[in-house]
Amino acid sequence: MSYISFWYKKWIGRFIFRKLNMGIGISLIAIFVLLWAVTYNSFYAILENKEQELLNSRTEKLGLQFMDMIDKFKYDARSIHQDSSSELQTSIYELFLPNHVALLTDDRRALAEQNYLKSVMTLMLTRNPLATSVMMYRLQDQRLFFESPLHSYTLNRSFDYAGFFGTFSKSYSHPFFGKSDELLLNGDTMLYLVNPIYNTQSIHPDKVYGYHLMTVKADTLLREFDQNNTDYKLLIKQNDNVLISSASDKQVLGKTDDLRSEQTLSSYNLTIVGISQKAALQSKLNSINTRISIILGVSLIVCFLMIHTIQRLIVGRLKLMSQHFKQVQRNPFTIHIPVQGDDEISDLMLRYNRMTTELQNHINQVYVSEIHKKNAEFIALKMQIQPHFLYNTLESLRMQAIINDQSALAEQLFQLGKLYHWMLQPSDDLITVHEELEHTKSYLNLLMLGKSNRVEIHVATDLNLYKCNMLKFTLQPIVENAIQHGKLEQIEHPIISIHIRSNSDKLIMEITNNGDNLTSNDYENIAAMLNGPYAFPDRHLGLKNIHERIKLYFGEGHGLRLVASDTSSVPFRLLMILPYKS
C-alpha cells in the first residue's frame, strides 16, 4: 500500500486533471462492464422504445406538416373571398360570379383573367411547397384554371371534371378530402382538398359559384414520412375511408404486433397512422450483439484518448492566459489573447479581452480629452475680447459719422454693432429660423459694402419660420463658404438660394448657389470631411464644425449632407437636416 501511495502522490496527487482522468477512467470501466452485463437482456427493449419514439416523432411531424398544409389551403381559400383593397383590382371570388362571366366578351379580357388567376395560383403553390397543383373551376361556363410547378403534370382531357366537381356537397364548413389517380394525365395517385367558392356579399351566401382544389402527390407524403425506408408504413384515413396507404391489409386492420403511432386531426376526422415492422428491429439487434464487445473496447480506448487530448488543450489554454496576465501587468496595451474554441474558457478569454479593450479605451479617452481640453482653453484664450470695448468703439465711430453727415456709414456701423451684439450675447443656442436668416442677411449686407456685384439671398418656403427652430450661427458660415469657394463675386447676378421644407419629423434646408460647380474630387473631399471622424478644428466656422454642432445638439440623423450626383461636375447643393414639429 505504501508503494502505491508513493506513486500516486508523485504522478497523480499533485495534478488536478490527472486525478480527474483517473476518476473518469474508473467510472467508464465500471459503466462499460455494467453495459456488457445488461445489454443482451435489455437492449431490445431499449431499441424498441427508441424506435417507438422515432415512429411517434415521424408521425407527429407528418401530422404537423399535414395540418400546416390544410391551414395554408384554408388561408388561400379565405383569401379568395376577401374583398380587394384596391378599387382597380377585382376580388378573386368576383371572377366566378355570373355577372362577371357575362362581361368576358373579348379574348383580351379572358386572357387578362387567366393571367391574373395564374399569378394567384402560382403564389398559392409557393406558399404550400407540398402541393402538386392548384385548380379553380367555374360553374357558370364550366371553365377550369390549372397551374402546376412541374411540367410533367397536366390536365387529363379525358376526365369528366364537370361531373367530378358536381359530386361535392354545397357545405363549405370544412374542406373536402379525397383521392384520385385520374385528375392529372400521368396517372399518379393524388390526395386532393376542395373548398367551394361563394359570394359573401350575397343574400344567399351558401350558393356555390365554383371550386378551389389543391392536389398533393401521395408519394410525396409517403417520402416525407418514411424517408425511403421500407421498414416504415403509412396510413391516412378519414373515418373509414382510406386516403393514402403503403401498409398491408393486415396492418391496415391492426392485426399485426408491429409498432404503431397515431395522430388524430379531430377537426377533419382524419387519422394518420405510422407503422414500424418489428422484424426489422430483430435483425438490427442480431447484428449489434455480434459487435458489442468490439464497440465497448474501442469506445473505452477512444474515451481515454479524448480525455487526454481535452486535458492538454485546457491546460495549454490556461497556461496561455497566465502568461498573458503577466504581460498586461507590465503593459496595459498588450495585444489580445488569441481566442481558441467555443466554451467557458474561450468565454473567459473574450471577457478578459473586452476588459483590456475598455481599459485601453478609457486610457485613450482620458488622454485625448485632456488634449482637447488644452486646445479649447488655448483657443478660448485667443478669442477673449471685451464686448463692451467693441460696442463702445463702434458707437463712437457711428456718432463721428453722424457728426460728419455720413448717414450711410453711420447706418452700416449701427448694423455692425447690432450683429456683434447678437453674436456675442450669452443667449440660448436655439433660435428661430427667421431670426437666423435676418442676421445672415445683415452679415451679407455688411460683407457687400462698396461692391457693385452684390450677392443676394433668396428664401423659398411654405412654412412659418417663426415656429421653426435651428442652432444659432449656422447659416452665416455656409454663406461665407459659398461666396469664397463658389467664386460668386466673379459671376453676373450671384444668388444664394435657400429652400426650406418639411419631411415628416425633419426640417430640411436646401442651400444652393449659381457659382462654380463642384468637381467630383471636391465632392468626395467634402463628403469625407463631413462623414469622417471628428477632430478638433483649427477654426470654429467650418462646415465640419456646423455638422458636428447640429449632430451633437439634436442627435444622429441630423446635420449637413451633400446631395449625391453621378456626373463629374455638379452644382453645390447642401442639405441641413433639423428636427421639425408640425
- Provide DSSP, 466-481: GG-EEETTSHHHHHHH
Which residue in 309, 334, 308 sits closest to 321, CA to CA? 334
CA distance 100 to 93: 10
**Locus of grid cell 482620458:** 366
Determine the Cα–Cα distance for residues 526 and 222; give it in Å rounded to an integer.
65
Residue 190 CB coordination number (10 Å)? 24
**Contacts for 359 with CB less than 8 Å, ≥ 6 apart:** 332
CB 415 within 8 A of CB 445: yes
Indicate the SS3 state at residue 67: helix
Provide the grid cell at 475.
447659416
Four-point Cα dihedral 160, 161, 164, 166, nearest 10: -110
The CA-CA-CA angle for residues 31, 56, 226, to 5°, reads: 105
Of 172, 251, 161, 162, nearest to 204 by C-alpha is: 172
Q: Residue 349 belongs to what H/E stretch?
A: helix 344-383
Contact 393, 430 (CB under 8 A): no
pLDDT reported for residue 537: 43
Given a contact cutoff of 8 angstroms between Cβ atoms, the answer to whether 191 and 243 are in contact is yes
Cβ neighbour number for residue 51 with a 10 Å cutoff? 19
Within 13 Å of residue 109, how many CA atoms lie on the same side as its CB?
Answer: 9
Q: What is the Cα–Cα distance from 546 to 540, expressed in whole angstroms?
A: 8
**CB-based contact 444:457 (threshold 8 Å):** yes
Q: What is the pLDDT of residue 193?
A: 92
CA-based torsion, 464, 469, 471, 473: positive or negative? positive
Around Cβ 347, how many Cβ atoms within 10 Å?
12
Q: What is the DSSP letter of 11?
A: I
**pLDDT tens digit at each of 582 positions of the chain:** 577 777 767 667 666 666 777 777 788 788 877 776 677 667 777 778 888 888 889 889 888 988 999 999 999 988 888 877 666 567 888 888 888 776 666 778 888 888 999 999 999 999 999 899 999 999 888 889 999 998 888 998 899 999 998 888 766 566 889 888 888 988 888 999 999 988 877 777 678 889 999 999 988 888 888 777 777 888 888 888 888 887 776 666 666 778 888 898 888 888 998 888 877 777 777 777 777 777 777 877 887 788 777 777 777 777 777 777 777 777 776 778 887 777 777 788 888 888 888 877 777 666 555 655 555 554 544 455 556 666 667 667 767 778 877 776 766 777 777 666 666 665 667 888 998 898 888 888 777 777 778 888 899 999 998 989 988 888 888 888 888 887 777 788 888 999 999 988 999 999 998 888 888 888 888 888 887 765 544 433 478 888 888 888 888 889 898 887 766 677 788 889 899 886
* Residue (of 549, 440, 542, 560) closest to 481 by Cα position: 542
State the residue for C-alpha cell 377537426. Answer: 267
Q: Do residues 285 and 43 lie in contact, with contact meaning Cβ atoms separated by under 8 Å?
A: yes
- How far is it, in rounded angstroms, from Cα 138 to Cα 212? 9
Q: What is d(CA 459, CA 437) in angstroms, rounded to the nearest whole number?
A: 9
The pair phi, psi for residue 237, each rounded to 5°, is -140, 155
**Residue ranges of E strands in 218-288:** 232-238, 241-245, 259-265, 270-276
Helix (H/G/I), strand (E/B), else coil: 235 = strand
For strands 569-570 and 518-519, give the pairing: antiparallel
Burial code (b: 16+ CB inside 10 Å, e: under 16) for 74-84 equals eebbebbbeee
CA distance to 330, 348, 361, per residue, from 325 (Å)? 9, 13, 18
At residue 541, the pLDDT reads 44
- Cell 407527429 maps to which residue? 60
The kind and range of the H/E element at 432 are strand 430-432
> How far, CA to CA in Å, does 478 sit from each of 207, 251, 349, 391, 458?
72, 87, 50, 26, 14
Chain-centre distance of CA 223, in angstroms? 33
